[in-house]
Amino acid sequence: MPASLPRFSPKMMARLDELGRVSENPENLTRTTFTPEHKRGNALALQWMQEAGMTAAEDDAGNVVGLYAGSNPTLPRLMLGSHLDTVRNAGKYDGMLGVVAAIACVEELHKQGKRLPFGIEVVGFSNEEGTRFGAAMTGSRAIAGTFDAALFEAKDRNGVSLRDALIEFGRDPAKIPAIARKQGEIAAFMELHIEQGPVLERQGLALGVVTAISGARRYRVDMKGLAGHAGTVPMGGRQDALLAAAEVALFIEQRCTGTPTLVGTVGQMEAFPGAVNVIPGAARFSIDIRAAIDAVRDVAADEVLAEIPRIAAKRRVEATITPLYDSKATPCDPRLMDQVEAAILAQGVPTMRLPSGAGHDAMTVAPLCPVGMIFMRCTRGISHNPLEAVLPEDVELATAALFHFIEHFTPESMQ
């Protein structure tokens, strides 16, 4: 750490606390999309953007967007930011850190009376998490030009559609296509985000350079066996669907252990009829397999899919596999990775490169322009939880690195 006084973190920690108090309920932090709290959170971000010398406004997808104009308006702009919405019972750094840090960097430029040749756009994305409507990343989709009108029909748990909630929020769904940035308008997008995992902390590092956002393959599997009396059917003669499901889960653990970035999870499992004295005649479970490299994920997923009928046959049950989701990995731009790495090293701290197992707005922005991400350590890797915590000195370092990246960035480096 440089010995000088922190430039960024005291104000940023106060702002993160302030945003963290804007919640739908007093017990915890819950700020979902197109709610009065979303409006209040946006108003805070807009005010901070204006104080930092930006022209700022809320757009028709519920994003807040600030522009710090460059001296050469013909140059493509640098886009920075992250999301302002949360999961239910959330932590106050997931997403918000990236927005507050980007504003702090522009504020520093403004304070120095400095203008870069290129403009800087800071975005506080709406609805990254998909907490209220299921449909996620609609704010960044609107900006990337990949917002599908079918998303308007997504409904919250009270049956309110995304379209109606957007109108109630005071925005015009018909104007969403106009939000999309044109190809070539944005030189690059850079997102600072907490890691939401334990890797950096275990390595004793404050900051990491993200290499890729992992793709995922998800399935639902139904196992059909034969229900029977738990007291009368001997162990050898059973067709226990739950045990077949359990064996698949253990196979996934074994197959996904030991390969870098590969992870496999059975997060849901149900037994039917679900009685204490009945052998499970059916079982249903989920599979989620991710890796930073598509081929690694695909080979593992294909092996798991091939193993399921073998386990089912051995246990005399029937397996039905339903694909639910398949997304490719989003690689971060190697030039941005080098620039971010140099910016971190310039702070006098070591760093590492690591993939993101979680999805982020950067993934959605990728069709528009080259994207990069900086990961910051969070305590014990905990996220999506009120226990989410960060060190103010890490916030200082992360923001100083982001500032260094911005000052040294040139749109030409992306051509």
Residue ranges in contact with Zn ion by CB under 5 A: 94-95
Min dist. Cβ of residue 83 to Zn ion (A): 6
Nearer to Zn ion, 95 or 281 (CB): 95
Nearer to Zn ion, 15 or 315 (CB): 15
Largest CA distance in the chain: 83
Nearer to Zn ion, 90 or 292 (CB): 90
DSSP 8-state class, residue 116: -
Min dist. Cβ of residue 128 to Zn ion (A): 6
Cα–Cα distance for residue pair 105/7, rounded to 1 Å:
10
Residue 57 host element (H or E): strand 55-58
Nearer to Zn ion, 76 or 95 (CB): 95
Min dist. Cβ of residue 252 to Zn ion (A): 26
Q: What share of the chain is helix, strand, coil (3-state, %, to 5)?
A: 40, 25, 40
Min dist. Cβ of residue 193 to Zn ion (A): 6
Min dist. Cβ of residue 126 to Zn ion (A): 13
Which residues are within 8 A (CB) of 344 and not within 5 positions of it... i.e. 6 or more apart?
207, 209, 351, 374, 397, 401
Q: Are strands 77-83 and 120-125 parallel, antiparallel or unpaired?
A: parallel
Nearer to Zn ion, 60 or 361 (CB): 361
Q: Which residues of 87-110 are buried (b: 16+ CB within 10 A; e: fewer)?
A: bbebbbbbbbbbbbbbbbbbbbbe
What 3-state class would DSSP assign to 320? Answer: strand
Min dist. Cβ of residue 358 to Zn ion (A): 7
Nearer to Zn ion, 89 or 161 (CB): 89
Which residues are within 8 A (CB) of 36 and not within 5 positions of it... i.e. 6 or more apart?
none
Neighbouring-strand partners of residue 120: 68, 78
